[in-house]
Amino acid sequence: MKDSNFLKEHNGRLMWHPMTSPQDSLDQPPTIITEADGVSITDIDGHRVVDGVGGLWNVNLGYSCQPVKDAIAAQLDRLPYYSTFRGTSNDAAIELSYELGEFFAADGLHRAFFTSGGSDSVETSLRLARQYHKLRGEAGRTKFLSLKKGYHGTHIGGASVNGNANFRNAYEPLLPGCFHIPAPYTYRNPFNESDPERLAQLCIQALEDEIAFQGANTIAAMIMEPILGAGGVIPPHPSFAPAVQEICNRNGILLITDEVITAYGRTGAWSGARLWGVNPDMMATAKAITNGYFPFGAVMLGERMIEVFEGNPSAKIGHGYTYSGHPVGAAAALACLAETKRLNVIDNAAARGTQLFEGCKALMEKYDIIGDVRGGYGLMTAIEMVSDRATKQPIDGATATKVQDVAYQSGAMVRVSGPNLIMSPPLVLSEADAATILTALEAGFAAT
């Protein structure tokens, strides 16, 4: 490895980073992480903190998961790569399809299509949705519906259904035929409705209206996160997702749950679909499928998809990735799934999630900068910061960054995204680690 002076000198200069401008990377060089163990990360200066971000919502099992490392090493020795394109397969990918079929049977999902990550899984779902309708003789169903504030990755299809202008404007024009429904975001919404259940009903009515306006027979699918993640951890009222499913079913529209964050336990349930009691037609997963140990994803497919695609020789899937079903990724995923089940991570996610959520609410009593605290479903928690509670004026970027920086110096990595401080630590977090995150956050707020 190059020495630390070389790395610091070139930090921000040689690499363009996602979600930031090259100039920002020069002005505020990124923190260089060089080691990790358990649920902690260590930077190039030897400063070790609890990783309140869990990598990027993905390192559910922490950084020292030996069975995953062993599985990867063994697979690299035996078969580092073979394709699953037409005519060939590999044993690890087949075994993983079986295990995922068992894991997601309760969601009504029985087949897997493998990808290299979350954006790929979203793109795969959108493409298969269009093909599904073509195969059924409804070629006019091409449009997509999604929620404002939703995040669905960065491919052109995913960006088109994204509900946040920051990820769209620079890349427009995007895919035509994508329409956005108001999100059930109680703190800010166009209806000025502060009751979550009534707000859910208003958003549902907006969905019905949009379908009527577009014409149901022009719409291929509705894609949504069961809990909006990157948009600021926005859990809907429990009545919301079942109502969306009922409307989709009634109108022949496929329901895709984007569970790149929520699948594999993060919400305190094994999937977001199971949390809300819905059965999607497709579920896009990635991230914790391999916990960050390997780039990998899987789209899980339900009965309606299976009926139309299987037993039909003309249902050729003209889509896939060189790394679809990568054997090393599949081996990593098999080991992650086994560990995830052995540790029954949902219990700890729920317990530590409650601790973090309640702790943040207690901080809200003390610091006016906290406008809203959201979470309560596993280890997805956000604090929305404001400069004025009464007007809900969003915090300025410099103050938000200061909170994050002081929290980092005080023992925890948390992530600022717009006015939100987002926490998504590993699901194996201990009570003491969660307390460290809260203490560090408090230091951040006290410094403003």
Residues that bind ligand PLP (CB under 6 A): 117-119, 122, 151-153, 225, 229-230, 258, 260-261, 286
Phi, psi of 193 (to 5 degrees): -105, 125
HEC secondary structure over the chain: CCCHHHHHHHCCCCCCCCCCCHHHHHHCCCCCEEEEECCEEEECCCCEEEECCHHHHCCCCCCCCHHHHHHHHHHHHHCCCCCCCCCCCCHHHHHHHHHHHHHCHHHCEEEEEEECCHHHHHHHHHHHHHHHHHHCCCCCCCEEEEECCCCCCCCHHHHHHCCCHHHCHHHCCCCCCEEEECCCCCCCCCCCCCCHHHHHHHHHHHHHHHHHHHCHHHEEEEEECCCECCCCCECCCCCHHHHHHHHHHHCCCEEEEECCCCCCCCCCCCCHHHHHCCCCCEEEECHHHCCCCCCCEEEEEEHHHHHHHCCCCCCCCCCCCCCCCCHHHHHHHHHHHHHHHHCCHHHHHHHHHHHHHHHHHHHHHHCCCEEEEECCCCCCEEEEEEEECCCCEECCHHHHHHHHHHHHHCCEECEEECCEEEECCCCCCCHHHHHHHHHHHHHHHHCC
Distance of CA 333 to the CA centre of its chain: 17
Of residues 118 and 236, the one with the C-beta less far from ligand PLP: 118
Of residues 286 and 332, the one with the C-beta less far from ligand PLP: 286
Of residues 153 and 329, the one with the C-beta less far from ligand PLP: 153
Of residues 184 and 359, the one with the C-beta less far from ligand PLP: 184
Peptide bond into 173 cis (omega under 30): yes
Work out how close the CB of 431 gets to ligand PLP at its nearest, in angstroms, rounded to a whole number.
27
Question: How many other β-carbons are positioned within 10 Å of the β-carbon of residue 94?
Answer: 13
Of residues 153 and 232, the one with the C-beta less far from ligand PLP: 153
Q: Look at the block and give the residue holding tokens 């093909």.
A: 131
Work out how close the CB of 120 gets to ligand PLP at its nearest, in angstroms, rounded to a whole number.
7
Work out how close the CB of 195 gets to ligand PLP at its nearest, in angstroms, rounded to a whole number.
26
Work out how close the CB of 55 gets to ligand PLP at its nearest, in angstroms, rounded to a whole number.
11
Work out how close the CB of 135 gets to ligand PLP at its nearest, in angstroms, rounded to a whole number.
25
Of residues 144 and 445, the one with the C-beta less far from ligand PLP: 144
Tokens of residue 133, six digits: 């309708």
Work out how close the CB of 59 gets to ligand PLP at its nearest, in angstroms, rounded to a whole number.
13
Work out how close the CB of 183 gets to ligand PLP at its nearest, in angstroms, rounded to a whole number.
13
Work out how close the CB of 229 gets to ligand PLP at its nearest, in angstroms, rounded to a whole number.
5
Work out how close the CB of 394 gets to ligand PLP at its nearest, in angstroms, rounded to a whole number.
21
Q: Which of 339, 329, 340, 286 is nearest to 90 (CA)?
A: 329
Residue in the shown chain whose Cβ atom is closest to ligand PLP:
118
Work out how close the CB of 153 gets to ligand PLP at its nearest, in angstroms, rounded to a whole number.
3
Work out how close the CB of 213 gets to ligand PLP at its nearest, in angstroms, rounded to a whole number.
26
Of residues 123 and 339, the one with the C-beta less far from ligand PLP: 123
Tokens of residue 285, six digits: 């997963």
Of residues 289 and 370, the one with the C-beta less far from ligand PLP: 289
End-to-end CA distance of the chain: 38
Of residues 289 and 438, the one with the C-beta less far from ligand PLP: 289
Of residues 153 and 235, the one with the C-beta less far from ligand PLP: 153
Of residues 153 and 371, the one with the C-beta less far from ligand PLP: 153
